[in-house]
Structure 1
Amino acid sequence: MLQVKTFHIEDKLRKVHEEAVGKNLSLLMSATEKIEGVDPLSFFDQGKRIDEHRHFWKSAEEDFTLVGIGSAISISKEGQGRFQETDKELSEWRNNVRQWNPYDKKGTGTVALGGFGFRPDSTAEEPWEEFPNSNMTIPEFLLTSDEAGSFLTTNLLIHPDDDIEAVIQKSEEDKRKLCTSYSDEHAPVHLEKIEEVRPEEWKRTIAEATEKLADGTLSKVVLAREVRLTFDSAASITKVLQDLSSMQNSSYVFAFEHKGAYFVGATPERLVKVENDELFSACLAGTTPRGDSEEEDERLGCELLGDHKNRLEHDFVVQMIRGAVETYAQDVDIPETPLLYKLRNLQHLYTPVRASLKEGFSLLDVVKDLHPTPALGGLPQQQAVDYIENHELMNRGWYAGPIGWIDGGRNGEFAVAIRSALIRGNKASLFAGCGVVKDSQPEAEYEETKVKLKPMLAVLGGEE
């Protein structure tokens, strides 16, 4: 049975409303309670009864899940200054929040969740019409679950002209709905059609890119392609998240909802994490499939570790991340040789990064300089991004952009939005890319993208 250890949020709301009336100013109120008996997927599913703006985040390496429902504060920026402007606005709200949080827990309180499009300008083109270029949201209701239990944060923007008793009543009703376990069986979708978007033309862009790389203008460029799915009915995002969490338990599982469209996936690639001022990043580039037997798996892994093209691609990422992290952190520790990072379908070259965040900087400062890494853009960074904009055959939207969360205590984590899909009703767009260097072969790169599409295809009715 659900139990809530409360400290009379109603009284806090009345107090904040009195202050808002007295100052003729809207005020943000945040209160965190410890709760028991709430499943994160159930909380997410019940959220559709309240708002079409939901967020889901499950960590790749620890028992840590965030679910956000609704929007107390929503910040959308675009242009070159979008990271700094978002950071500044979040700080302004947090500096003036009326907060009650007796728990020293990361990921509680005024946590903002969301992401940024790959490009700094608008993404509102097909198929991303429902998504802004970037959005970080402090949700009205935030469930934080970890090994210590579950915590429910209520964030409400209180206006002077609010009927505070009606606000209190609605807030309590919404919490009861969210904390009611769902019992619906979420049937899997049935895939009716798979359409590869201009595959032969995409292969030609790979060949053209290798010619450009041969003249020395670029060292590497990442080109992605799109596959479109059609189902017999609208996909259940809760079911997709449930299956991803089960099948891809070494990846970050995420979902962001905007106006009924969902960006969902399971990415293995951390961009950067900060916890108690300790900074962690990861260099993940270079890919090969898992083997059907232990012997084949070991052989493929050894071949990947010795493959010149993949090691070169991986080193590009290591050097770029080192340069970005050293600007904002000290005591930077990066091993000289990569390891193997094994997932259900794939194995990658992996190099961990550890450092200490300097005073005066935030997580979004680091995100700004890390995005896009050579694993998602190329090198040199700006020339590669320009090449992608002019030659790639799709609109990336939030694909390959930074997604994640940040709390009011400088803690947070962002990952790179790969192994993902944009789902709109009974249709989905899946995305996958590859790093092109001067000796890349179009057919081999095409086959690599097919492997990278498997995790999302497997939970959307296709073959694993």
Structure 2
Amino acid sequence: MLRTGQLDQTAFFKQKLQDARTCSKRYISIVEKAINIHPLSVYHFYKKLNVSERFYWSNQENTTILTGIGSLVPYHHSTEGQYSAIEKEWEHFCDEVYREKVDKWGTGPILMGGFSFFEKYRNIGHWEKFGTAHFYVPKLMLTISMGETYITTNYEITDSTTEADLEKRYEEYHSYLEEYGMTQPEFEENILQSKEEYQPLEWTRSVGQAIDKMKENQLDKVVLNRTMQATFTNDINSTKVIYSLEATRNVNYIFSYQLDDHVFISATPERLIQKKDNRVYSMCLAGSAGKGLTVEENEKNGKWLINDLKNRHEHDFVVKYIKNTLKSFCEELNIPMYPRIMATKSLLHLFTPVEGVLHQHVSLIDLVKALHPTPALGGFPKKEACQLIAELEPLERGWYGAPFGWIDANGNGDFAVGIRSALIKQNEAKLFAGCGVVESSNPEEEYKETGIKFLPMLNALGGSKNETK
């Protein structure tokens, strides 16, 4: 048995259904401890349950992994006001779900999804399915938390639902996990046909335009994104991409979110905000340098990065912004005075951790809305930087650089930002990479930096191994 407990199913579901109806609930959520299930196996074989939605999430420390398949309740918005709308809908769902309290991080009913970078679109294009916000509660979810495995199953009930109906659905999930929960996926070689950077010369000129505006004191920093299109011979398998990213994960979050034939996938080193009861954790990540080929070169590059005025200036914008934003929500806030070095696979970053104790009645969505976009993703001042992004960037950002994460029924959860990312549809992938531009920036150097940032995702897709053009 995959599940470690013994369950008299008929009596169990009869009691759950009775308890839920007594409390006038519309949903039931059940959490059980489990063994011998691999999250990527659950993710890969999702079509066996006749569903078209799935997600995968692993945190920086790789201590929390979530895999959800099937949408019990979707929440989709394409207008402004998406933060308050999602929060109200989630609160309403939590009022309507019958659940037993389980004190395990990332279990029970959770809401997984993300917001767009901008609160409204300039155009829709390839982000149409995602809207300004898209979240859902999965039907089946696997959680690995601090080495322990849990299964959450979520059910909608009506006046006509019987315990036999719930038992049947439970057996479908159980059979799926028994058959596929430890089955190793098989992958075929996928050949890169072409890759093309979108308007590279125009992008470099836009960096120069941004620098000119800074010299005119119109703003202090802006983050500009550029795009690469990669086309393969066959449809891209996101499970294979995740395997590749996990193999070289370093300190990254890795997440994937699929809606029908679109998959947004990211290996981001940057947390936006995590909430655990009254404690919050964020980070300041801005300022980059290439990694060296040896330990000595890395030490040299790290020392240079710590002392480089341009990168320290860029980093300080983020530290000041996050400090000023969070201090209104926190009764205590701890931010070290000096940054340290974070090493990812391809880059070194200036990094400052942030930890705080919240005032009462502060929600995770409140914090996400207040923080996004930080100067690390938008610029500073926020309003002027976002206006310049809209003016200079020809393509819609969608979920690039935007908040993505999850929230549970207790209001706890974790949000990262979707950098080092790609939007996949069939055999095509749009890759996104950005850089922070300040007055002392050099357009050619920023172009090189974004080129380095493309590499981890391009490598995971297979582009560096079988490049033909």
Q: Quote how far apart the aligned CAs of 1:149 are.
A: 1.4
Residues 107-163 of structure 1, C-alpha deviations (whole Å, 9 max, x = no match): 111111111110112487222233222122211111110234110011112122446
1:332 Cα deviation from its structure 2 partner: 0.3
Q: What's the TM-score, normalizing by structure 1?
A: 0.94
Report the Cα distance in structure 1 between the residues aligned to 2:18 and 2:275, rounded to whole angstroms: 37
Do the aligned partners of 1:371 and 1:402 also contact (CA within 8 Å) in 2?
Answer: yes
Instruction: Check conservation: 1:75, 1:137, Cα contact below 8 A.
Output: yes
Between 1:147-156 and 1:263-272, the stretch displaced more is 147-156
Relative to structure 1, is the Cα distance of residues 188 and 160 closer, same or farther in structure 2, using a 3 angstrom cutoff? farther
Corresponding residue SS for 1:127? helix
Which residue does 1:142 correspond to in 2?
141
CA contact (8 A) 1:67 1:142 kept: yes
**2:408 equivalent to 1:407:** yes
In structure 2, give the amino acid aligned to 1:70: G
Q: 1:114 to 1:11 in 2, by over 3 A?
A: farther
- Percent of residue pairs bearing the same amino acid type: 37
The structure-2 alpha-carbon separation of the partners of 1:19 and 1:106, relative to structure 1 and needing over 3 Å to count, comes to: closer
Superposed, 1:145-184 pairs within 5 Å as 145-162=144-161, 165-179=164-178, 180=180, 181-184=182-185
How do 1:68-147 and structure 2 match up within 5 A? Answer: 68-101=68-101, 103-122=102-121, 125-147=124-146
Question: Structure 2: how far apart are the matches of 1:309 and 1:375?
Answer: 14
- Report deviation, 1:190: 1.8
Q: Give SS of 1:248's match.
A: coil
The aligned runs of 1:421-436 (5 Å cut-off) are 421-436=422-437
CA distance in 1, matches of 2:377, 2:63: 27
Match of 1:28 in 2: 27
Following superposition, the deviation at residue 277 of structure 1 comes to: 2.0
Tell me, yes or no, if the aligned pair for 1:124 and 1:131 is still in contact at 8 Å.
Answer: no
Partner AA of 2:66 in structure 1: L
- Residues 19, 352 of structure 1: alpha-carbon distance in 2 compared, 3 angstrom cutoff: closer
| CA distance 1:92–1:7, change in 2 (3 Å) | farther
Question: Post-superposition shift, 1:88?
Answer: 1.9
Go from structure 1 to structure 2 and tell me whether the alpha carbon gap of 1:254 and 1:193 turns closer, same or farther (over 3 Å shift).
Answer: same
Contact 1:187/1:239 (8 A) holds in 2: no
Deviations 1:9-37 (A, max 9, x none): 654544565678899x7701101011111
Closer, same or farther: CA 10–133 of 1 in aligned 2, 3 Å: farther
What displacement does 1:410 show? 2.7
Equivalent residue letter for 2:61: E
Tell me the distance in 2 between the aligned counterparts of 1:418 and 1:8.
46
Q: Is the 8 A contact 1:17 1:160 kept in 2?
A: no
Consecutive unaligned residues of structure 2, counting only runs of 5 or more, are none
Tell me whether 1:64 sits opposite 2:64 in the alignment. Answer: yes
The C-alpha deviation readout for 1:18-60, integer Å capped at 9, x for no partner, is 678899x770110101111101111111223221110110011
Aligned to 2:193: 192
> How far apart, in 1, do the equivalents of 2:236 and 2:308 lie?
39
Quick check: 1:5 aligned with 2:8?
no
Q: Is the 8 A contact 1:4 1:36 kept in 2?
A: yes
Q: Classify the secondary structure of the residue corresponding to 1:347.
A: strand
Q: Which residue of 1 aligns with 2:315?
A: 314
SS at match of 1:88: helix
Q: Which amino acid aligns with 1:147?
A: M
Deviations 1:397-447 (A, max 9, x none): 111000111112232110111011111110000000111112222111110
Amino acid in the other structure paired with 1:229: A
User: SS of 2:328's equivalent?
Assistant: helix
Write the distance in 2 (CA, Å) between the matches of 1:166 and 1:27.
14
In structure 2, what is the equivalent of residue 349 of structure 1? 350
> Judging changes above 3 Å, is the alpha-carbon distance between structure 1 residues 77 and 204 closer, same or farther for their aligned structure 2 residues?
same
Deviation at 1:173, TM superposition (A): 1.2
Letter in 2 for 1:206: V
Instruction: Point out 4+ residue stretches in structure 1 off by more than 6 angstroms.
Output: 19-23
Structure 2: distance between partners of 1:409 and 1:153: 15
Q: For residue 83 of structure 2, what is the amino acid of its counterpart?
A: F
Relative to 1, partners in 2 of residues 1:10 and 1:247: Cα closer, same or farther, differing over 3 Å?
farther
- What number of residue pairs does the alignment pair up? 462
In 2 relative to 1, CA 11–320 (structure 1 residues): closer, same or farther, beyond 3 Å? farther
Give the aligned residue type for 1:173.
Answer: E
Offset of residue 207 of structure 1: 1.1
Partner of 1:49: 48
Pick closer, same or farther for the CA change 1:175–1:398 going to 2, 3 Å.
farther
Give 1:170 shift: 3.2
Q: Kindly state the Cα deviation for residue 71 of structure 1 after the two structures are TM-superposed.
A: 1.4
Moved more, 226-235 or 130-139: 130-139
How far residue 230 of structure 1 moved from its aligned partner, in angstroms, is 0.4
One-letter code of the match for 1:38? I
- Equivalent position amino acid for 1:284 in 2: L
Per the alignment, residue 249 of structure 2 pairs with 248
Q: TM-score, normalization: structure 2?
A: 0.93
Q: Does structure 2 conserve the Cα–Cα contact (< 8 Å) formed by 1:374 and 1:381?
A: yes
**Shift of residue 318 of structure 1?**
0.5
Could you tell which deviates more after superposition, 454-463 or 308-317? 454-463
- 1:84 to partner: Cα distance: 2.0
Tell me the secondary structure at the aligned position of residue 374 of structure 1.
coil
CA distance in structure 2 between the aligned counterparts of 1:111 and 1:385, rounded to whole angstroms: 31
Question: Which string of whole-angstrom CA distances, capped at 9 and with x for unpartnered residues, describes residues 310-366 of structure 1?
Answer: 111100000110111112112101111100001111110000111112211111111
- Deviation readout 1:62-115 (Å, 9 max, x if unpaired): 4210111111222223544321221122112112311135x3101111111111
Q: Tell me if the contact between 1:244 and 1:265 (Cα under 8 Å) persists in the aligned partners.
A: no
Query: 2:443 maps to what in 1?
Result: 442
Q: Is the 8 A contact 1:271 1:402 kept in 2?
A: yes
Residue 389 (structure 1) aligns with: 390
Task: Give the Å deviation of 1:231.
Answer: 0.6
Determine the structure 2 residue equivalent to 1:260.
261
Q: Out of 175-184 and 150-159, give the one that drifted further.
A: 175-184
